[in-house]
Amino acid sequence: MAKAAWVTGGASGIGAAVSRRLASQGYQVLVTDVDVAGGEKVAAEVGGVFRRCDVREPSDSVAAVSAAVDTFGGLDLAFLNAGVATGFGLEDGFSPEAYRRVMSINLDGVVYGAHAAIPALKARGGGDIIATASLAGLTAVPFDPIYGANKAAVVGLVRALGPLYAPQGIRVNALCPSFAETAIIENVRDVLVGSGVPLLEVSDVVAAFDAILAGEGTGEAWYVQVGRPAEPFAFRNVPGPRTPAGDKAPAADPSVQITAFREG
């Protein structure tokens, strides 16, 4: 039985390229996007199925997973890739409406997508969730703080879900590319190039996606930088608690496992 994949933001850029790669590897692909014409074109190209999905709407993600299960018999992989640029800070250009839009697409879309996909992956006996975050989720981006905030939240979500669902055979990882040659940078491309920032080829991001899928890790955030091999970012250990001088630390309760705070 062929494996089945669901790709959000699949009408262009990284989503379209990953859809093509998955199809070449034998996956049946459900391509979703709000760009109907672009999504239908990619789906036809990869021999898959298109469904319109606005990731801001939880019901759209549930319907997409149902479509994958009904059409392909199950779901093995969810690539939660849909995202938009921010382009504003906390002063000029800021509005609650603009803020909610970008947070809803870039963060809520991953939450709703994972929520919809997990039951189908469990039914399959396991599978993969890969979310597109960004290098902006791993380092400070003073020129775009809202984008940095929602991408950092995606990284935090993935790192928590990884160990949570590992016992059920579901791996959850994040793809964190630097600036890539896609439509999301079209408004800042000249500034980036003029500043000497090297741009990733989409093929480099797809190669990193392949490496995540071929690996065994979970809860990882893979950075993708020009001129470097993609690999999981190594987070430092969180410092442990300190006790007042002379006091003894409380005995650990062996029945409580706080694995989220034992970073490797």
Q: Residue 188 maps to which CATH number?
A: 3.40.50.720
- Model pTM above 0.85: yes
> At a CB cut-off of 8 Å and minimum separation 6, what does 199 contact?
179, 180, 181, 185, 189, 192, 193, 226
Q: Which residues are catalytic?
A: 147
The whole domain housing 257 covers 4-263
Residue 226 is predicted with a pLDDT of 87
Count: domains in the chain: 1
Q: Are 165 and 119 in contact (CB under 8 A)?
A: no
Report how far residue 257's alpha carbon sits from residue 252's, in angstroms, rounded to the nearest whole number.
10
- Identify the CA nearest to 67 among candidates 55, 79, 53, 82: 53
Q: What is the CA radius of gyration of the chain?
A: 19
Reading the chain (264 residues) residue by residue, the pLDDT tens digits are: 799 999 999 999 999 999 999 999 999 999 999 999 999 999 999 999 999 999 999 999 999 999 999 999 999 999 999 999 888 899 988 999 999 999 999 999 999 999 999 999 999 999 999 999 999 899 998 888 999 999 999 999 999 999 999 999 999 999 999 876 666 656 666 666 656 666 788 999 999 999 999 999 999 999 999 888 999 999 988 888 887 765 655 554 443 333 333 333
Q: Kindly list the strands in the beta sheet with 28-33, ordered across the sheet, starting from the edge strand earlier in the chain.
A: 49-52, 28-33, 4-8, 77-80, 127-132, 170-177, 221-224, 231-232
Residue 86 is predicted with a pLDDT of 85
